A = this chain, B = another copy of it.
Amino acid sequence: MKRYQALAEETAQRIRSGSLKPGDRLPSVREVRDLRGLSASTVFSAYYALESQGLVEARNRSGYYVTAHALAGTAEPGISAPQAKAMDVDVSALVFQVLTQARQRDMVPLGSAFPSPELFPFDKIARSLARAMRHMNPWQTVQDLSPGNLELRHQIALRYGLAGIDVPPSQIVVTNGAMEALNLCLDVVTQPGDVVAIETPAFYAALQALQRRRVRAVEVQTHPRTGVDLASLESVLDRHPVKACWFMPTFQNPMGCTMPDEAKAGLVGMLTQRGIPLIEDDVYGELYHGTRRPRPAKGWDTEGWVLHCSSFSKSLAPGYRVGWVSGGRFATQLGRLKLMSSLATALPSQLALQEFLGQQSFDRHLRALRDALRCQQASALRVIESHFPVGTRVTRPAGGYFLWVELPEEVDALELHRQALLQGVGVAPGHLFSCDQRYRHHLRINHGHPGDRRFEPALRLLGELAGRLVASRPTPASAQV
């Protein structure tokens, strides 16, 4: 990261944390130059970057100020209200309908689960692939069955090491993307009929996995910025025979919330004490907007109760289907279940990534990717603040590529989804993110397509459609009169 970027990010963090509030004046360029020993042009570049993100604005001759809408312009959604009972899960029909629509190439993909494939260095990875295949030993087709290619597992272990986490390659099982890793975890630590604790709202793929496994879900209160509420979790664990937790402690889907380090430590401590496995879905961890990767909950796992799942599908190589689980005390069982259920992860994919990761260009790519996603988040927030109806609330995640939008109660997100579809815009209605189709006036917005010029007009259109729905419907309260 260049110096100006570091300064911009540091300042952005202070705005996000609230230590710099809307209307506050930033220190002058001269002040920063003298205090920090930076050149004036570095400080200017940082302030320009913050301005382009909509976080600060220049006022004539008097310097830079935090913008009114930097945080407070649109409020954050409230903390979620979990259902008290464990629920059977049945979400599939609606999810498949929405996913199918999202795959139509001509649809503006605001509802997609994926970042734009144009963000990834496919040419470079293909060169790694070609190189790796030239040196492939045919016997690797047998040797690299589950748990997977040893050199690749070693590379993955090195990345844990960079984050200060000690995971031996022997505890890593290479999988067909994180999705397979998560499903393997669920199958290893639960039986049909068991109860699993989840966030609310939760990623629909997690709900689908629970449905497939025929386990019941019990929801834990989840804050739109700080994630799983530990007091709520403790109460859930006291009341229900929870066999596992499935959480995304970092850049949760759909809200983008990240549990603070202390909360992650507390989470792992609480589960370790009770002997409850944590399935940690951490596929967005590399897509942070700040200066460093949030530490996964796995980083506090001393007893092997955390099954940490991730992949390269969102960070480097979509379509290659290379994910992994760092399985702690369950690693051997996971490797065997993988062997029984799909035998191996595609060898060309494993070798391509092993070769690419040996080259040090992963981090360069990641920096560019993070910048692109962060800037696009800023534009998305600007559009939402200026074009969505009064009363709209939105998250401001510190990473990933989703915004979680809470619209005024009168807006039925499914109706909005239908109207938007007719105009070529896909959205993910909030209905998808719980077992009982709550979150009826919520949307998940994908801002992971920075190269798509249709993005801002489509988002404006959504805001306008939502506004019309507000105007045309009685509020739920008046409807009951």
Q: Which A residues are within 8 Å of any B CB, using their own CB? A: 92, 96, 99, 102-103, 105, 112, 114, 117-118, 120, 122, 126, 129-130, 133-134, 136, 138-145, 176-177, 179-180, 183, 187, 192, 205, 208-209, 212, 214, 318-322, 336-337, 339-349, 352
Contact = CB atoms under 8 A, between A and B. Distances in A.
Contacts of A320: 346-348
Contact of A343 (B133, B140, B177, B339): B177
A339 B99 contact: yes
11 contacts: A96-B339, A105-B139, A105-B143, A130-B133, A176-B345, A177-B343, A179-B340, A183-B340, A192-B192, A321-B345, A346-B349
Given A320-B348, A347-B319, A347-B321, A342 B138 contact: no
A427 to B, nearest CB: 16
A92 B343 CA distance: 14
Nearest to A207: B340
A114 B142 contact: yes
Q: Is the interface of A mostly helix, strand, loop or mixed?
A: helix
Nearest to A211: B340
Given A103-B145, A139-B117, A142-B103, A348 B342 contact: no
Indicate how many identical chains form the complex: 2
Contacts of A142: 102-103, 112, 114, 117, 318
A136 B122 contact: yes
B336 A96 contact: yes
B342 A177 contact: yes
A280 to B, nearest CB: 19
A129 B126 CA distance: 9
Contacts of A209: 340-341
Contact of A346 (B187, B319, B341): B319
A126 B136 contact: yes
Given A180-B341, A212-B341, 7 more contacts: A129-B348, A138-B318, A176-B321, A209-B340, A209-B341, A212-B337, A348-B349
A342 to B, nearest CB: 4
A144 B177 CA distance: 15
Contacts of A347: 319-321
A319 B349 contact: no
A180 B146 CA distance: 13
Contacts of A180: 176, 341-343
Contacts of A96: 336, 339
B342 A143 contact: no
B344 A321 contact: yes
